[in-house]
Chains A and B, each alone.
Chain A
Amino acid sequence: MGLYDKFSRLAAERTHFQDSGASPFGTRIDAVYSPTEGRIGDKDVILAGTNNYLGLTFDAQAIEAAQQALAAEGTGTTGSRMANGSYGGHTALEAELAAFLDRPSVMVFSTGYVANLGIIGSLAGPREVVLLDADCHASIYDACALGGAQIIRFQHNDAKDLERRMLRLGAQAKDALIIVEGIYSMLGDTAPLKEIVDIKRRLGGYLLVDEAHSFGVMGPNGRGLSEALGVEADVDIILGTFSKSLAAIGGFAAGRSGMEVLRYASRPYIFTASPSPSVVASVRSALRAIATRPELRECLWSNAHRLYDGLASLGYALGPHVSPVVPVMVGTKEQGLGFWRALIDQGVYVNLVLPPATPAGVTLVRCSVSAAHTPQQIDQIIQAFSVLRPLAELAG
């Protein structure tokens, strides 16, 4: 048996979806003009599949900060923090995030994925039980697998199901790690965090919230769903990413002071090159923007409501909550591919997401809204969906 034979089903599917036209698995954005405009091939498109929630990728201050760091400290750190040392920017960013989140400890990682591996994979070993929302991101599953934790899933966003499964654990429940997300990346819905906190108060356990899609997006100060629902004190660890509202790449974990020991125990933290100075500088600048420009969040949510309401009025089946992630259900995989390509032809780029990466086996085109979208751009997106409504009806 050949080394790649086990991927034959995957290879066949990939070939099937690449036989003609643009492929959702390898989209090339040939030019990026702004946070919301680009070009695919010879087609100018509105970018509505970027997770660029606050539109800060072209923020003048962030770019200037990155350019200054690039000139002053070079293109990369060329090593890990433990072996090669931390730069001033790393520790400053950690201190600024700690102050922003009002947490004693913050650790910065090179990507959000690595942050999950580094924290969950280190904390949840073979003797630990992790109670995981069934729709959690693949990085969380991978992190649990890395540590060898015993993984118990509960039904997506079903606090009663979580409670039932915790009760089954008996005495183990008080030490279990509960993991949920602020905003779920596929359906854009939010965790029932108040109900989950209530269960944690009664049955014990530790609570970790991955705020990858909600940091900078939710809460009066942009600290995420935990802040929006007033339950920050009950959340033991917050995980986040720099690659969405913070418009760069990297990730972080914020927790209680005991978390500091993971700097010496977390292999994904120890054995990874640290974030580049320019990345750290732009993230620090974007964090300041989140802290001082609440109008970005207001604009984002205004756009999210505009798009959600517009698509709902066209009769599309959408996710359950209004959020900056607006998923549209579009029938089978083949119908979804046709719809996605037709949207590009209409000048709109979104994400096509196919099962098994989607909940309940649905195919969806996933729009993500930005504060940088103008109302006119949102209307153009709605207009494209309006033109394609007959195609969606065929898709059932």
Chain B
Amino acid sequence: MFTQHTILENVLICLRDMVPLSEQVGPDSDLVNDLGLESVKMMDLLMKLEDEYDLSIPINILMDVRTPRQLANALVAYVEKSHGAV
């Protein structure tokens, strides 16, 4: 069963694999300015999450995403559509 909390946790786990250990990754970290995530890495992160949830999530959602929390919130609708209410 997925919850908003577990989705956010998953985002943070995937993200920690992609940034240097020295970076402090929090729910409200700025993905670009704080964590230095380039656009390609943002798209790679989304691919990982698609596989995690076995979903199709267009990269278009990244246009409005600045933080892990915002990304998790954007994922909720897709997870709900596929796996039921979150």
Measuring CB to CB, which residues of chain A are less than 8 angstroms from any residue of chain B? 129, 134, 148, 150-153, 155, 165, 168-169, 355-356, 361
B19 within 8 A of A: no
Whether A169 lies near B56 (C-beta < 8 A) is: yes
- Tell me whether A168 and B58 are in contact in the complex, defined as CB-CB below 8 angstroms, given that A153-B43, A356-B38, A356-B39 are known contacts: no
Q: Which residues of B contact A134 (CB under 8 A)?
A: 43-44, 47
- A168 partner, pick from B38, B56, B59, beta carbons under 8 A: B56
Rank and list the top 8 A-B pairs by shortest CB-CB distance, nearest first.
Answer: A150-B58, A356-B38, A356-B40, A168-B56, A151-B59, A151-B58, A152-B56, A169-B56
Whether A155 lies near B58 (C-beta < 8 A) is: no
Q: Which residues of A contact B22 (CB under 8 A)?
A: none
Whether A165 lies near B59 (C-beta < 8 A) is: no
CB B23 to nearest CB in A, in angstroms, measures: 15
- Main DSSP-derived SS at the B contact region: helix
Total residues of chain B contacting the partner, CB 8 A: 16
24 residue pairs of the A-B complex, CB under 8 angstroms, read A129-B56, A134-B43, A134-B44, A150-B58, A151-B58, A151-B59, A151-B60, A152-B50, A152-B56, A152-B57, A152-B59, A153-B46, A153-B47, A153-B59, A165-B50, A165-B56, A168-B50, A168-B55, A168-B56, A169-B56, A355-B38, A355-B40, A356-B39, A361-B41
CB A74 to nearest CB in B, in angstroms, measures: 42
CB B14 to nearest CB in A, in angstroms, measures: 15
Q: Which residues of A contact B50 (CB under 8 A)?
A: 152, 165, 168
Q: Which residues of B contact A153 (CB under 8 A)?
A: 43, 46-47, 59
* Cβ proximity bits B51-72 to A, threshold 8 Å, 1 near / 0 not: 0001111111000000000000
CB nearest to B36 among chain A residues: A9
- Compute how far the CA of A49 lies from the CA of B51 in the bound complex, rounded to whole angstroms: 38
- Compute how far the CA of A152 lies from the CA of B47 in the bound complex, rounded to whole angstroms: 8
- Compute how far the CA of A356 lies from the CA of B41 in the bound complex, rounded to whole angstroms: 8
* Cβ proximity bits B7-41 to A, threshold 8 Å, 1 near / 0 not: 00000000000000000000000000000001111
- Compute how far the CA of A355 lies from the CA of B45 in the bound complex, rounded to whole angstroms: 16
Measuring CB to CB, which residues of chain B are less than 8 angstroms from any residue of chain A? 38-41, 43-44, 46-47, 50, 54-60
Inter-chain pairs besides A150-B58, A152-B59, A355-B38, 20 sampled, C-beta below 8 Å: A129-B56, A134-B47, A151-B58, A151-B59, A152-B56, A152-B58, A153-B46, A153-B47, A153-B59, A155-B47, A165-B50, A168-B50, A168-B54, A168-B56, A169-B56, A355-B40, A356-B38, A356-B39, A356-B41, A361-B41
Residue with the greatest number of chain B CB neighbours at <10 A, chosen from A129, A165, A168, A169: A168
Q: Which residues of A contact B40 (CB under 8 A)?
A: 355-356
- Compute how far the CA of A155 lies from the CA of B60 in the bound complex, rounded to whole angstroms: 17
CB nearest to B56 among chain A residues: A168
CB A176 to nearest CB in B, in angstroms, measures: 10
Q: Which residues of A contact B39 (CB under 8 A)?
A: 356
- Compute how far the CA of A206 lies from the CA of B70 in the bound complex, rounded to whole angstroms: 33
Q: Which residues of B contact A148 (CB under 8 A)?
A: 60
Q: Which residues of B contact A150 (CB under 8 A)?
A: 58, 60
CB nearest to B59 among chain A residues: A151
- Compute how far the CA of A61 lies from the CA of B58 in the bound complex, rounded to whole angstroms: 48
Q: Which residues of A contact B54 (CB under 8 A)?
A: 168
Q: Which residues of B contact A155 (CB under 8 A)?
A: 47
CB nearest to A148 among chain B residues: B60
Q: Which residues of B contact A165 (CB under 8 A)?
A: 50, 56
- Compute how far the CA of A396 lies from the CA of B58 in the bound complex, rounded to whole angstroms: 37
Q: Which residues of A contact B46 (CB under 8 A)?
A: 153
- Compute how far the CA of A356 lies from the CA of B44 in the bound complex, rounded to whole angstroms: 12
CB nearest to B55 among chain A residues: A168
- Compute how far the CA of A25 lies from the CA of B39 in the bound complex, rounded to whole angstroms: 20
Q: Which residues of A contact B57 (CB under 8 A)?
A: 152
CB B38 to nearest CB in A, in angstroms, measures: 4
